[in-house]
Structure 1
């Protein structure tokens, strides 16, 4: 199985666990522990930073929130990862390092996505404001042009009256 697909599967498992853990599904906790044990042995997978980032950046908003909650970086602070990790006492030092490496990059990718989205939203809002200001300026210029045209017409009328007065 290629690394990108494996990363997708593990992250989907974390999201699914967060989504279903309150339903009391039988064996769900043991299943997530087994999956973390498997992930801990896949050092190359835990270092696939670009694939991890790519997958996290493309998650739906709902799944992204669930993943953040799994790793205790969401708004709800109901993370599961650290508690499950503490229950995996049989992990070797290398396996723990692999999981910590994976966790760090998932968290980094989540923070980066939040940063990117927040900045995009700010820029988008600023563009909306600038567009509004441009429209207001266009309206003002239109009004000024109309007023100048009216004033020019009035000046023409005054000029004609002035010529009539001079003749009299």
Structure 2
């Protein structure tokens, strides 16, 4: 007799439900294996891992499959269960109930996690936009400060040259006070 790994039974049931959603005989066999494999329906970490790693399309199919209860034309967990529950003992029905609750909980958790990730991404995007805007404003302010500094430096340079020129002229005037000439009077 082959020993069955309860994680593999859990994964196999989920895979069967996604690949053959309306195949009653495969569902019956797999769900009975789930019922008879100790702890397989309690294998919440396996169910969660399986649900969390589904593609978005497959995840949507799984959600529809487990949450659809009114439309009997669409394959759903409830519809298949309705066909086989009558022949099952209470403990087997309990196992399927627990399995269904675990899958729905994993679906809800995945949606909650993804919603938080989307919210975090939006916050990060807002922060990135604000930081880009702040960087541009700081860059513009820095450019304006450099321009103003260069203008002020130019003004002081012009004043310095003007003052140096007049000081030199005054120096020339006062150096020739003791010996006035007509050239000196031409400067004045």
Say if 2:65 is the partner of 1:62. no
TM-score normalised over the length of structure 2: 0.75
Are 1:81 and 2:77 an aligned pair? yes
Report 1:45-56 matches (<5 A): 45-56=40-51
More contact order relative to length (CA 8 Å, sep ≥ 6): 1
Q: Which runs of 5+ in 2 are unaligned?
A: 167-188
> SS in structure 2 opposite 1:44?
coil
Matched length: 157
Structure 1 unaligned runs (5+)?
22-27
Give the 3-state SS of the residue equivalent to 2:93 in structure 1: helix
Deviates further, 48-57 or 141-150: 48-57
CA distance in 1, matches of 2:133, 2:75: 48
Q: Give 3-state SS (helix, strand or coil) of 1:46's partner.
A: coil
Please tell me whether Structure 1 or Structure 2 has the larger radius of gyration of its CA atoms.
2
For 2:123 and 2:150, locate their aligned partners in 1 and report how far apart those are by CA, in whole Å. 40
Q: Moved runs in structure 1, 4+ residues, more than 6 A? A: none
Map 1:149-164; keep pairs closer than 5 Å. 149-164=146-161
Q: 1:17: which partner in 2?
A: 20
Is 1:108 the counterpart of 2:105? The answer is yes
* Aligned match of 1:8: 11
| CA positional deviation for 1:56 | 1.4
Which region of structure 1 is more displaced relative to structure 2, 97-106 or 54-63? 54-63
Contact 2:12 / 2:30 at 8 angstroms: preserved in 1? no
Instruction: Check conservation: 1:42, 1:98, Cα contact below 8 A.
Output: no
Q: TM-score, normalised by structure 1?
A: 0.83
**Deviation at 1:164?**
4.5
